[in-house]
Structures are given as C-alpha cells and as structure tokens.
Chain A
Amino acid sequence: MAANGAIPNGSADAPIDVSGSPNVVGINFGNSYASIAVLTKEGLSECIANEDGERQIACAISFHGEEIYIGNQAKPQLIKNGHNTIVGFRNLLGKKFSELPKDKPSASALIIQHPDLPDTPAYKVHVLQPAPKPLPPTTSNVNTPSASAMATPRSEPTPAERILTVSEVTTIFLKSLIKSAEDFLGKKVTGAVVSVPAWFDDAQRAALAKAAEDAEFHVLQLLEDSGAIAVTTAYGATPAELSDDRTQLVVDVGQSSLELALLSIRQGLAYSLATSTDFSVGGEQIDDKLIKFFAKDFTKKSKVPLVVCPAKHTDKRAEAKLRLAVEHTKRTLAASPGAATCSVESLKDGFDYTGTINRLRFDMEMKPIYEQIATKVRELVESASLDLYDVDEIVYVGGSASFPGLDDYLGQAFHEGIVTPFTTGTVIGGGVGDPTTILARGCALQAKLLASIGTGEEESKVRQAFEVESEWTKVKATTKTIGILFPEENSDGGLGGQWIPTILMETPLPCRRVHTFEVDLGEGDSKKVGFEVWEVKEGVKIEKVIPPKEEDDPEEVKEDAGDPEEDDDAEEELDVKEKTVEKETFLQSLSLEAKEATKVNGRWKTKLEVQFLVGGDGGLEISAWEIGKDGRGEKTSVSVSA
C-alpha cells in the first residue's frame, strides 16, 4: 500500500494494519456546502450521502421551536423562518465582530455582538425551551395527567433566546457530519482531514481546529483546497494525454466565491504558482441570473409583475422561493443536455409557476459570468509570468463548476490539447473529475496517508511536515527547463537536433527523472551515442493570422486572402500561438560506445536510459546506461556543479 510502503528505517512500531482501511474520513467544509468522503476497502475514496441522501450537505442550521434542522432540511427554513436560520458561518470563523461588514442585508439569522465575549460575533435565535422543571401537580384540569413515577408530565415549552457563537454553530454542524460518517461506517471515526481555503489565516484555522475539537473528533490536518486536489491528482489515473510533470489550473466556483490556483505538479509533488480569490462571482450570481430569467418569464405568463435581484420588499418571499427552486434547475442543467425546469408553487399572488430553460439559453445568460471567470484566469496565469498555453490541465472544483458550458467557454483560450474532466469524461456519473466531490475525496485519501505514518519518535519530524507552514514544506525549485539534445546532421533550423526535456522549470528539488528510449545509430560501424545537456528558454510565439477557411492550411489562406468569397470574415486577424524553445545555456555533454546495439532493417539501434539527479542545492548529475537483454549496462556519468 502506498503510504505503508514508504516507512524507512525498519521502524518496529510502524503501523502494520494495511488490510483494513483506517476509520478516517475526509471533509470538505465549504461556506455553503460540505461533503464527506470515506475510504473503500480497496483503498480508494468515495463521497457518501448523509441520512437525507445528500452528498452536498448545506452548511445551514435552523432553529424551529424545539427542533434543530441541520443541512439541506434547514435551507427551506430560510423562507419562513429566516431569522432563526444560520448560514455562511464558516467564513466568519476566527473573525472579530468589528471586522465584519455591517451593511450586508441578509435573509438569515441576525449577527450581533456577543453579550459577554469581547468583540465576538454571535447569532441570536429564538427557540422554544422545554420547561426546566416538571409542572407542579394540578388538580383542576382533567386533561393534565397527574404526576406519577412513570412519566414526568410535560409542561408547555417556553420561548427563549439563544445566543450561539460562530464556533458553537460550527461545532454543531461538524458533529452532525461526523455522525453521518459514523452511521455510514458503522464505527467510530478516529480522525479527519478537513479542507480549508488557501486564504484562511492562522486565526481562522485556529478557530476551525477549536470547533472540531469541541465536536470531539481528531483533526489530522487542515488541508488547503489545492492540497486536496493535488492528492486526488496523485492517486488518480494520469490520462494518456498528460505527463506526470504538468501545470494544472484549478478553477473552484462555489456559492459565493471563485477561487483559482495555478499548480506545478511534478510527479505528485505540488505547489502553487499563484492563487486568487474573487468574492464577486459564484453560484449566487448564477442564481441571480436564473431568478431574473424566470421572474421575467413568470410576469410574461401571468401578467403579475415580479421584480427580483434586488427584490422589492413585497417580492422578497418570491425571490427566496425562486432561489430555492433554481438549485434543482442548475443541477439538471449541469447533468443533462435537455431543458431544465423550475417550478414554484404559489410564486406570487397565488400564481404557480413552471418554466424551462435549455443549455443554450442558459449559457447565453451566463456569458458575463463565464467571461469574468475567464478574465480572472488570464490574470492569474499572467501573475505567474506564464501564458495560457503553458497550462496543461484544468481541474474543476465546486458545485458551480459543473457546467459543461463553462468548460467550453474557458477552453477556447487554451491550447487545443488542454485536458479537462469534461474532455476526459470523468465528470459524469460521479467520476474522478466530479467537481462536487473532488475535495472530500482528496481529503479522505490524505487522511489515509496520514494515518499510515508511524507514531514513534523517529517519525515525529515527518508528522510535523504536515503542520501549517512547516519548515519541511520549504523547497528550492528550478527556474529553467533542462534537457538533452541529440545533435543531428543537417537539421533544419530549430535546436539542431532532437530535444528531450527532462527536468521542467518549476521542479522542486531534490529530484530524479529517468527516461528510456531507442537511439538510432545509423548504418555505419561507429556506434557512438552522445548528447548535449542544455538549459533552454521557453516561450510562446504569437502570430497574427487571418482566420482560415475551414479545413484550410493557414499558409494557403494568407495567400488567397483576397478571395472575394472570403471577404466577410477575412478582415479580423486571429492570434495563433505556438510554444517555442531556444537553446540558452550549454551545461555538459555525455557520450558512450554502444555495445548492445542490434541491427534492425540495416540500421543499428540501441536502447538508452538516462537519469537526471538534481540535489537540493542545484548540483546536477547525469547518468546514462545502455539497456541490453540483461538490464542496465555500464554506467556513464557526468556532473554539473551547483
């Protein structure tokens, strides 16, 4: 097993139970939705449904009389019982009351300054409290059962105010998540990895850790969202079109924010090249657009005016109803190509409403949102001094990233071969690319990994490495791509031979890369193998090209751009991008005599294995072996000092 296989120094106290999966879970704790993943017997992870059958569990708690609703059942309460319904509490963790924006109108429970704790936000809700003491026996009322040893007579519950801190609310919610997981597993959960946004600071992390502690479960790690994605990436199958060394763009569209991260993934080791957060785009904005669309449709059909987003006071209720209803519409739009409906009973003035929207129309309505996301993506990639063409893969996270239309829209700006869960078909049917479960699944796999680390003294440093801001996460990384060049006779232009990149820029050190391939030695008797080691400059060349007629060669089109038939669309020039590589620094060369060459179709060929080892300081050792029938032959090495 992965993690267990990696215990060095024969530690005697290493965990040896590799058969049963540990009772650990992964929790994606979003601001609006949470999800839970467990490990399967096979060591994979899967997102589970809670007892309400929900995989995406609304982060909502509602107090209604003596009842408490937690999760999706609490959401409808926002309509009738808004002032007793708490949502959006995660983002308030670790915040002072004075730090909160005060002007935000809200349909949910009031946030007040806590009566006792200094500068602490709290929620005030109205509940019914069961009377503390049994009623004194009454004689007059026949309907009241007399007190007996058997049952305490219930008194009328009394209305009361309850003050809850953000931390307390979080604890109640987390407890319910753990309970769901335990119900599913049929055993106690011993630990969990919980996801947190990249921008969570120490105070926020500490507040969350405290809330979890109060919920009585052990937090194995508060893992940044990107970390959870990196884990799923490392465990998942690498699609054939992708290399294990790649640049990954993570697009997380949640309910109230867009979170972007550009990751360098190098054989499973990952770090952020850039991150950004935009609180002005998310599922809420998508909802707004849909609500407006349906409100207009309603007015058209029923002739009842309905003004929403923002809503007039009289229309607030209708807006809230629509907001609840479009949740379903969005999921249908994301899941299937057909039209999606939105139905609300008694939307306004007693009129019911049912309307539909198809994907085409939806994507049209969403265009400004898609464009805003695209702009943010461009800015992010620019901030890392990279080009969109440098991105190899897009990973989507968050419920609102489930729309194929978003992928289509964003995809245009990248190179043709960009790999996304939509192109690989891993979104549908709860596949590995499912944006709504990917975080929880990553957290569960990470939990398994952490559970495998020994508890002994010699592993203490290893354990520390997973703590926040641990020293062990600091690394040096390369800034230029290094590779090998096989010089070629009369090579036309370019680099003057066959170029094989071996260590990409932004590779953390120390690192090792091993490549094997066949080498053509020609027809002659000199069976010499040799190559040069270079550092290169990579870039993206942009050429202005007049858009070609379909299926035509761009070159050709340029020449007959004057063709009268094309006049209409020949005007606008298009950017055609191409990746470029230029030799920059020659470092070393290596050569050897091939001894294991075989003649194939009159040409000598041999198989070569080349290893690049870069130390933590940047020192480079290059080794090459011929691979014969008995494995590696004699080793030839050269080095480049740090």
Chain B
Amino acid sequence: MAHVVELSVVPPPLPSSWSPPKPSGKSISPLVSRRLLPAGPAFLAHVRRVVHDLSFEEHDKHLQEEKKRLAELNGEGVIVDDLGVGDEDETEELLSLDPKEWKKQDHYAVLGLSHLRYKANDAQIKIAHRKKVLKHHPDKKAGTAGDSNDDAFFKCIQKAHEVLTNPERRRQFDSVDPYYSLLEDDIPTSSQITKAKDPSKAFFRGFGPVFEREARFSKVVPKEGGVPMLGGVDDSKEKVEGFYDFWYNFDSWRSFEYLDKEVNEGSDNRDDKRYTEKKNKTERARRKKEDIARLRSIVDLTLSLDPRIKRIKEEEKAAREAKKKGKLNSASGTATPNAKEDEEKKKAEEAKKKEEEELAKAEAKKAKAAAANARKKARRAERATDGP
C-alpha cells in the first residue's frame, strides 16, 4: 500500500575496500514546527494515523480491509454477467493516450470494445465502462498517504463513455471510426479479380467484406434479411438485381461532423467563429458528397466484375430465345432446329460476348480511375485537416 517510487538510477558496485562504517550515533538535525494545511486526502490519512495512533503498516491494513468491505457493500467486486466485454489487453500506447487529444482516440479500444465496435449494444458499453472505471479510477490510489496519480487514462475512459452513450455523438464517431477508415481503401482492383486463378471466387472473396462493412451506414435495414449482401455465384436474377438496386439507392447515415475544426472558444471574435462554422459546414457537405461518390464507384466496380451478370444475361437471352422459338415453333409446327441457323447464332453470340467483355473492361478501367481519384481526394482532404 505504501507509495513506492521507482527510480531509474542504477547505483554502481561497491568499492572492494568498502565495509559498512559504524553508525555515527548522531541523530537527524533538529526538527521545526509547522502547521499543516488541513486539506486533501493525505491530510485525512495523516490525521487518522495520528488520532488513532496507527503505524503506517497498521493504517495500510485498515485501508485495505475497508476497501474490500466497501467493494462488497457496493457489489463492485464481481460483475455477474459481463457480457464478455471490457477485457481486452491494454497496450502501453492505449494507456498513454492524452485526454486532450480525445478526438483522436479510438473510443472502442479505450473501453475494450474493439472487437465489437458499432455492433456494441448499450448494455455492453455500460459494463465495459464500469469495468474500466473500477480499474482506472483515480480515487483508487488517492486514499493512501497522499498518493498522487495519473488520471489521464481515466479521463480518456470518461470521454469514450460520453461519446458512445450519446446516440448522436456515437453516430458521428462511427461515421469516421478509425478502425474502419483504415480498411476503407481495402477494395480489390479489377485486375486483382480478372487475373486471379479463379476470378469468380476472388470476386466474392474480395467484395463480400466490402459490402459487409459499408452496410453499417444504411439508414434502412429491410425487415427481411437485412441489408442485401453480395451473396453467392448461384444467386437468382431477382436477388442479384435486388442487391444492385439497393446499393445504387443506398441511403447512408454517415456524416462528418466529427472532423469539424474546433471553433476557437477562447476567441470572442464572432467573425472568427462564424467563419470556422461556415467552413465546417462546407467541409461536411464536401465529405458527404465524396462519400456518396466513393460508394457509387464501389458498386460500379462490383457490377462490372460480377460474374453473375454474364450468366444472367445469358439466361435472359436464352429465355428470350426460347420464347421466340416457342412462338415460331407453334406457328410452323416444326421443332427441329436448323443447323445453319444454329451456327450463325453461335457466331453472333461469340461476337457479342467479346464486345461485352471489352465493354466491361473499359467500364472497370473507368471505375478504377474514379476510385483512385476519390482516394487521392480523400487523402488530400485529410492532409488539409491535419495540417497546421
């Protein structure tokens, strides 16, 4: 319980000749009388020791017992159901976060919720916060003889809690969650897909997670089946069309207030304030526009590479063809296909296929360029906000 000061000095080895000198028999210099300021936990601890005539060790023991008793009284010791949260490792980096820089901190990581993020529910946030508070509360140390303590991380915890328990502020933070921001550019390029050994597999593997990530921004979550996901290669025409339909009309709640420049509160200059506010507003709008374009280019790219589209087109054509033939057949009464006709049809089909492929390639190229452009823009914007 004693406050232990760790020093970084390393005393050298003793000289070989040294042997402990005899005590001098002298006492420490005469003491002076002083008057303590009757303030603070250290004074209270001092008074308790003196009033109750306790040694430091006895006092430590009382403190410990009392702490235990209080913890039990408050039912703090055990959290019955911790919902499996709040136990993530706390890295050095995390613990040395600066609360003044709270805007830059990963609030989920601070509360030990990085594995859940936007999926964490209110109960989980509450429990995680409570666990962290129990562990890092500055008062935990303040009771002993004047231990001072570093409550920086505690403040980070409080900030994280403040943000994540306010739905609007949480939404703003989730919009720019640093964890996902890192992943945001992780989108397969068209050549990665087309040049893959198994392009179809690469397509689903590459784009599946992209849509899973982006889905969290959807304002609407269809009751049946939730936000449509990329799905599989054998999906029906309706399903694939439904998917693209949804994503081309994606309504996102993502917004960018979190990246606002701080309005200088110290300054009373109204123009200053108004200027910053105006600038923030335009920045938000610009970011939002860019984000819509970003998603659109992803959907464009996906569509251009989607192996199912070809299949569906073929199916459609086949169906059309079959229909036509059915009509013809019923008219002429003959069902025998003409060999020559067959030949021609095949040729036409091949030509069309080639044409389609070329088109898709061109499309992909365009989409890629657009995506690269958007990334560049985003980077530039980021630099601008980080700038001095």
Contacts and interface: CB of A to CB of B under 8 A. Distances in A.
B28 to A, nearest CB: 5
Interface string B23-66: 11011111111111111111111111111101010010011011
Given A487-B15, A514-B2, A517-B11, A42 B154 contact: yes
B31 A514 contact: no
A101 to B, nearest CB: 30
Contact of A269 (B36, B51, B59, B151): B36
Given A16-B73, A234-B41, A428 B31 contact: no
B20 to A, nearest CB: 4
Given A271-B35, A487-B15, A588-B23, A465 B51 contact: yes
A243 B147 CA distance: 11
Contacts of B3: 244, 267, 514
Interface string A589-609: 111000000000000010001
Contacts of A5: 63, 66-67, 70, 139, 143
A18 interface: yes
Given A237-B151, A516-B4, A586 B28 contact: no
Given A2-B41, A611-B2, A18 B268 contact: no
Contact of A237 (B13, B15, B38, B152): B152
B18 A234 contact: no
A535 to B, nearest CB: 6
B31 A486 contact: no
A638 B23 contact: yes
Interface stretch (B214-222, B249-257, B259-267, B354-362): B259-267
A507 to B, nearest CB: 10
Nearest to B61: A8
A221 interface: yes
Size range of the interface on A? 35 or more
A509 B45 CA distance: 13
Contact of A465 (B23, B27, B38, B266): B38
A203 B57 CA distance: 41
A530 B18 contact: yes
Contacts of A42: 133, 137, 154, 158
A311 interface: no
B78 interface: no
B44 A230 contact: no
B100 interface: yes
A613 B41 contact: no
Contact of B5 (A453, A475, A515): A515
B74 to A, nearest CB: 6
B49 A510 contact: yes
A477 B31 contact: yes
Interface string A1-20: 11111111110001010110
A8 B52 contact: yes
A480 interface: yes
A477 B32 contact: yes
A479 B100 contact: no
A333 B239 CA distance: 65
Given A227-B38, A234-B42, A268-B41, A618 B28 contact: yes
B6 to A, nearest CB: 5
Contacts of A524: 13
Given A1-B139, A234-B42, A336-B267, A9 B62 contact: yes
Nearest to B66: A7
A475 B38 CA distance: 12
A500 B10 CA distance: 10
Nearest to B73: A16
Contacts of A498: 9, 11-12
Contact of B47 (A227, A431, A462, A614): A462
B12 A244 contact: no
Contacts of A473: 35-38
Given A473-B35, A512-B56, A520-B10, A2 B74 contact: no
A524 B11 CA distance: 16
B372 interface: no
Interface in B62-109: 62-63, 65-67, 69-70, 73-74, 100
Interface in B194-225: none
Nearest to B26: A585
B28 A234 contact: no
Given A5-B66, A230-B37, A512-B56, A588 B45 contact: no
A284 to B, nearest CB: 22
Contacts of A228: 39
A41 to B, nearest CB: 9
Contacts of A538: none
Interface in A471-517: 472-480, 482, 486-490, 497-498, 500, 506, 508-510, 512-517
Interface in A245-278: 263-264, 266-272
A1 B39 CA distance: 17
B74 A238 contact: no
B188 interface: no
Interface in A42-66: 42-44
Given A2-B139, A270-B36, A508-B34, A516 B47 contact: no
B151 A479 contact: no
Given A3-B41, A6-B45, A497-B12, A517 B6 contact: yes
Given A8-B52, A514-B4, A479 B44 contact: no
B14 interface: yes
B8 interface: yes
B148 A508 contact: no
Interface string A524-558: 10101111100100000000000000000000000
Nearest to B2: A514
Interface in A185-233: 221, 223-224, 226-228, 230-231, 233
A435 to B, nearest CB: 14
A427 to B, nearest CB: 10
Given A237-B152, A270-B40, A585-B26, 6 more contacts: A5-B67, A227-B40, A479-B31, A489-B12, A522-B14, A588-B24
6 contacts: A234-B146, A461-B51, A472-B50, A479-B31, A522-B14, A585-B26
Interface of B: 2-16, 18-24, 26-52, 54, 56, 59, 62-63, 65-67, 69-70, 73-74, 100, 133, 137-139, 142-143, 145-152, 154, 158, 264-269
